[in-house]
Amino acid sequence: SVHEKVMRHLSKWEVIPEVHFLSNYAAHPAFIAAHLLRAKEYNLSNYDHVLFSYHGLPEKQLKKSDPTGTCLINKECCKKNPHCYAAQCLQTTQKIAEGLNLPREKWTLSYQSRLGKSPWIRPYSDEVLKTLAKEGKKRILVFSPAFVADCLETLEEIASGYRSLFLSHGGETLDLAEGLNDHPAWIDAIHRIIDERA
């Protein structure tokens, strides 16, 4: 992990500075507020459904962060482990959906970018999009809250690949909401989160 590499590097220093790791800001009000400002740039009434797509992880990696031993056993497991990546994704999604007054039936949380044959956390974004098209949803807006800067996974995988997939299954429009990137609200959020924890 990044933490491990940083500490390994610092261990070679003569004087080790005080170090703080910010492991979780998934539900931080400033982080959510920045996403809400970005989201309000889109007219949600133009869309049949909103997809919140997060980078996936192998199931075995998710289970390693679970001291309770209940990870992926039932749908309520995320409420028991505050260090769980899936729980953090759910927190972020629920907070954004709540801030946008999105009813539960109008949004779905999913995971993308899986590799290899081992199981990754579900549901998979590509499969969700096929299902939404099959259900008659024609216009989809995709948010990627974990990708705070637009990158290959957002611009290529979602905006290009998932758009083609959705259209090939009967959808009409798939738009990718722009990432936080250098939005002033995100820069302010970073400052607030650091100031509160330092």
177 within domain boundaries: yes
Domain annotation covers residue 16 = no
| pLDDT number for residue 77 | 63
Across the range 67-72, mean pLDDT stands at 75
* Rounded CA separation 145/133 (Å): 23
- b/e map of 90-109 (b: 16 or more CB within 10 Å)? bbbbbbbbebbebeeeebbb
Whether the CB-CB separation of 108 and 162 falls below 8 Å is answered with no
Residue 74 backbone zone (phi > 0: left; psi -120 to 50: alpha; other: beta): beta
> At 169, which CATH number?
3.40.50.1400
Q: What is the mean pLDDT of residues 85-113?
A: 96
Task: Count how many domains the chain has.
Answer: 1
Give the residue-averaged pLDDT of 82-107: 94
How much is the mean pLDDT over the chain? Answer: 93
Is pLDDT above 70 for 80?
A: no
Structure tokens at 12: 């070679």
The DSSP H or E segment spanning 174 is strand 173-176
Give the DSSP H or E segment for 33. Answer: helix 29-39
Q: Is residue 136 in some structural domain?
A: yes
Q: Confirm whether 9 is domain-assigned.
A: no
Q: What is the pLDDT of residues 4-40, one digit of tens each?
A: 999 999 999 999 998 888 888 999 999 999 999 999 9
Q: Is the pLDDT of residue 168 over 70?
A: yes
